[in-house]
A and B are shown apart, each in its own frame.
Chain A
Amino acid sequence: DSGVTQTPKHLITATGQRVTLRCSPRSGDLSVYWYQQSLDQGLQFLIQYYNGEERAKGNILERFSAQQFPDLHSELNLSSLELGDSALYFCASSTAGTDTQYFGPGTRLTVL
Chain B
Amino acid sequence: QQQVKQSPQSLIVQKGGISIINCAYENTAFDYFPWYQQFPGKGPALLIAIRPDVSEKKEGRFTISFNKSAKQFSLHIMDSQPGDSATYFCAASRFGGSQGNLIFGKGTKLSVKP
Show the binding face of A for B, using Cβ within 8 Å: 2, 4, 31, 33, 35, 42-45, 48, 56, 58, 90, 92, 94-106
Contact = CB atoms under 8 A, between A and B. Distances in A.
Given A42-B104, A42-B105, A96-B98, A101 B89 contact: no
Interface residues of B, number: 24
B49 A90 contact: no
B34 A99 contact: yes
Contacts of B32: 99
Given A2-B43, A99-B32, A100-B49, A58 B98 contact: no
B57 interface: no
B98 A95 contact: yes
B91 to A, nearest CB: 8
Nearest to B98: A94
27 contacts: A4-B43, A33-B101, A35-B102, A42-B89, A42-B105, A42-B106, A43-B104, A45-B101, A45-B102, A56-B101, A94-B97, A96-B98, A96-B99, A97-B98, A98-B98, A99-B49, A99-B96, A100-B46, A100-B97, A101-B98, A101-B102, A102-B46, A103-B43, A103-B44, A103-B45, A105-B41, A105-B43
Interface string B54-89: 000000000000000000000000000000000001
A44 B101 CA distance: 9
Interface of B: 32, 34, 36, 41-46, 49, 89, 93, 96-107
Nearest to A57: B101
Contacts, number: 65
B44 A90 contact: yes
Nearest to B104: A43
B44 A43 contact: yes
A44 B99 CA distance: 16
